[in-house]
Structure 1
Amino acid sequence: MKNRRMPMIHHRNAPRPLVALAAAAALLLGACSPESEAEAPQVRPVRVVTVEKGTGGNVATLTGTVEAEDEAALAFRVSGRMIERLANVGDRVTAGQVVARLDPQNAQNGLRSARAALTAAEGQLVQASNHFDRQERLLGNGFTTRAIYDDARQGMLAAQSQVESAEAQLKIAEDNVSYTELTADAPGVVTARGAEPGEVVQAGQMILQLARQGGRDAVFDVPAQLLRSVPASPIIRVSLADQPSMTATGRVREVAPQADPVTRTFRVRVGLDNPPAAMLLGSTVNGAVELDSTPTIEVPASSLTAFNNAPAVWVVDPATSTVSLRNVEVLRFNPATVAIASGLAEGDVVVSAGVQALYPGQKVRLLGSGA
């Protein structure tokens, strides 16, 4: 006997529990239906700018510090225990001023030994000279042989050599005693110290760093792209960061031949012409230089993000209103904008606000655009 599907009988007097069960089943089937619509993607509002090339001739500003044009590390020529340091950081010293001392006991012992050796050598020379004089007179009278005369002459020459050697050792010992005092070779200001009294220091170890009196440099770390944009022999306008009215001008005196391995920037020293007294060593300064008149692309600093460990910006596709990340090469950083060397072209629409919440392919709604 075949099974037949029984027709569903609706009865207005059906029990209430059955009606509730049927409603719950209908809701469950509706929730599991594959035809349920997916949630629509969120359209995020962003503010944008349209890329245009500038007129060129912009002014680049970098921050640096004031350093001495000539700095020297003062160190002892001999090793020993430092018993005294007569200058500290910030002190002004003069040429020839004693700034530190070593324990001179060993050097003085060496000096006494060298003097004694010289006295003994001089006594040997006197004895050898007298013997040679006697043999020379005897040889002239025929009372001695040539061999004895030659031995006497050789002994005198050897004694003279011993005296010369002892004199040299005495000079070395005297120098070693003088080396226990460290003197400044030029007037200047102490900028750092490398040892404290009581320490045993080695020959050549920095005891004091001396900024010699004279010229001053403004030192900047400059990106390679900016170096390529600077004209030949530019005039740099330098001002104090906390007192912009204090200014000076200068020219590039030295460019590091190799980039810093961490920052990939080049150390540039600008020699200052008649800097004001307020530009003390270590002061923070701003250096401004006018760049070549080549038109450049600039975007707001807020547009910059990172992608693949490199600078990048979000670019909007006008046809689909979606965004994508694009790596760029930064030419320089300005106070409010970023100059782009490559990666963008005129007419590109770049997101300038709202970059933190974007992902590739996301649809956006433009709030504003402009140059």
Structure 2
Amino acid sequence: MLALAAAATSLLLAACGREAETNAAPSPRPVRTATIEKRESSTPLTFTGRIEAEDEVSLAFRISGRVHENATKIGDRVKAGQVLARLESQNELNTLRQAQAALAAAQGQLTQARNHFDRQETLLAQGWTTRANYDAATQAQQTAQSQVDAAEAQLNSAHDLVSFTELMADAPGVITATGPGAGEVVQAGQMIAKIARQDGRDAVFDVPAQLIRSGSVDPKVTVNLVDDSKIAAQGRIREVAAQASPVTRTFEVKVGLTDPPVAMRLGATVVGRVETNAGPTIDIPSTALTKMNQQPAVWIVDPSTSTVSIRNVDVLRFDEAQATISQGLDTGEVIVTAGVQTLHPGQKVRVLGSTP
């Protein structure tokens, strides 16, 4: 009996020893890991805008008057030198006739003064007149010449006034806006027609201020038509408004297009796309994410002890395949990418392999 009791006691002690050994040294948990690397990334930005003329000019009469004819229509194509509108020109034509008559009278006075001067010059040479008469004839000729010059200048001004009653296109283009019609009285400088010249095309966008401050220097912009994305053109930023819109608080940005297709007509709606440098980023597999304190977190592996610890991270972007981390990880750190749901802080792990 004593021998049997001793054997039972030995077996019980052996079993307790094995259980204590098992509890003291559990087997490491198998996991897959990835090493953190930073890379330079670019973020695409898209904006909706419109096509405008690179050079648009408002045409107006140089003088005031009553519009006699204005046949311009929005969308009409015009040529350089084409008459767009006319003013009633009776007063200007009368002024022209008056200037012509004044010039004819001055030329007659000049002819008479020259003949008198020639006679006085001949008589003075022969000694039949006095120096005073000769000087008076000389002065009369100079006065008559000055009157002719003044009359010619007035005639040129009258011709200009008559020409100002016709409004002509200074370059080929398309009419984008029209002003007063026939019968209306207009002032000098009042817009009669607005022409988009055919020199170039701009894609115009309204852009927030923060994107202008953080944007790249001289970025290349890809512009596509909204209704047909296959129609595209390349361009670069040509002008940025100096002041934000008081309504939208955005800045107007004009992108000069290089060889835009014909389909990109004035007023067409387009989408502009530009790549901006987002700086160094960290991409990890989405399977590495877990939660701690209701915030995204990852498990960090300590290579020296093969144990894990959990750490919160800031997620910039997330999809089914990968997540972009903005803060919380450094280059060279090892994270767990598979088996994250069964870990606890300080647990030993055994690396099965690395996730690419």
Alignment of 1:40-59 (within 5 A): 56-59=41-44
Moved more, 263-272 or 114-123: 263-272
Matched residue, 1:254: 239
> Residues of 1 paired with 2:136 and 2:246: CA distance?
69
User: SS at 2:132's partner residue?
Assistant: helix
Q: What code does the residue aligned with 2:256 have?
A: G
Distance in structure 1 (CA, Å) of the matches to 2:193 and 2:73: 8
Structure 1, residues 175-232: CA drift from partner, whole Å, max 9, x if none?
1111111111111110001111111111111100001113110011222211122211
| Count of residue pairs brought into register by the alignment | 250
Matches within 5 A, 1:1-371: 56-294=41-279
Per the TM alignment, residue 295 of structure 1 is displaced from its structure 2 partner at its CA by 6.1
Long gaps (5+) in structure 1? 1-53, 297-316, 320-344, 348-371
Moved more, 287-296 or 232-241: 287-296
Larger Rg: 2
CA distance in structure 2 between the partners assigned to 1:135 and 1:107 by the alignment = 42
RMSD: 2.3
Shift in Å at residue 119 of structure 1?
0.5
Q: In 2, distance between residues paired with 1:247 and 1:76?
A: 39
Q: Per-residue CA shift, 1:115-147, capped at 9, x if unaligned? A: 000001001111111111111112112222222
Give distance in 2, aligned partners of 1:281 and 1:295.
Answer: 40
**AA partner of residue 153 (structure 2):** A
Whole-Å Cα distance in 2 between the matches of residues 90 and 165 of structure 1?
45
Structure 1 runs of 4+ with >6 Å offset: none
Separation in 2 of the partners of 1:279 and 1:59?
A: 23
Structure 1 equivalent of residue 36 of structure 2 = none
Once the two structures are TM-superposed, the CA of residue 271 in structure 1 deviates from its matched residue by 0.9
Are the equivalent residues in 2 in contact too, given 1:86–1:98 (CA < 8 A)? no
The CA distance in 2 between the partners of 1:151 and 1:262, in whole Å, is: 75
Structure 1 residue identity aligned to 2:135: D
Give 1:346 deviation, angstroms: 5.8
Matched-pair identity in %: 61
SS of residue matched to 2:237: strand
1:14 maps to none
